[in-house]
Amino acid sequence: MPWAGNRGKALARWLGTGLLGLLLLPVSLSLEVSVGKATTIYALNGSEILLPCTFSSCFGFEDLSFWWSYNNSETFKILIHGVVKNEKSNPKLKLIADDRITLEGTTKEKMNNLSILLRDLDFSDTGRYTCQVKNPKEKDLQHNATIFLQVVDKVEEVDNTVTLIILAVVGGVIGLLIFILLLKKFIAFVLKKTREKKKECLVSSSGNDNTENGLPGSKAEEKPPTKV
């Protein structure tokens, strides 16, 4: 039956694709490089800035190569290049293009930190900084991450006026609701006490028997008429 043969071929292709995906998935997810959550950072002219870079590998690493590169619309250059022998050793630097740059990270104790410190910033340092890692243990698999540095003459202060107004309004509303709830409970308490007091008065009034007390409104004891 022709349709059965076509169906079998389609199933074989599907299984082959699935198995290939399973084989490639660990490799694709093994080596990762990160420069943090911020894609853009700002720094003052003349100050210093730490450019973060960390990496992770599920399979470990040997003779791992790493480098930082800088580029803008006109220039591309390698800033720093080094090698890490294994997980028990620190990076060994092979190239530092600028004496303002120092490697601040360590790869011992599973830190896997390749961050660099850039000092005496200038406006010309504005641009993209890429941290790239290559691991021979994973068939020279490479991965990189990029962060954009903007050098400015002053850091803009964030105006939090609107935020403070919103917080004040929300706080006022919450405080008003709490006050209303407390007032409601107080009124309920007063009403309850008032009802209890009235009930006690009614019970006390109905329990008093003044017929023999000689009090006003009581019935006087009737005496038989005196015989003459």
Judge whether 81 and 70 are in contact, CB under 8 Å: no
Q: Are residues 50 and 117 in the same domain?
A: yes
Which pLDDT band, with edges at 50, 70 and 90, does 120 fall under?
A: very high
Q: Are residues 75 and 114 in the same domain?
A: yes
- List pLDDT tens digits, range 155-175: 666 556 666 778 888 888 888
Q: Are residues 46 and 84 in the same domain?
A: yes
pLDDT, residue 71, reads 94
- List pLDDT tens digits, range 81-118: 999 998 888 899 999 999 999 999 888 878 899 999 99
Q: Are residues 99 and 184 in the same domain?
A: no
Q: Are residues 75 and 51 in the same domain?
A: yes
Q: Are residues 86 and 114 in the same domain?
A: yes
Please give the residue range of the domain that contains residue 186: 158-190
Q: Are residues 71 and 182 in the same domain?
A: no
- List pLDDT tens digits, range 34-52: 999 989 999 999 999 999 9
Number of structural domains in the chain? 2
Distance, in Å, from the CA atom of 60 to the CA atom of 204, rounded to the nearest integer, reads: 90
Which whole number is the average pLDDT over 210-227?
50
pLDDT, residue 141, reads 87
Task: Provide the phi-psi class of 208: left if phi over 0, else alpha when psi is between -120 and 50, else beta.
Answer: beta
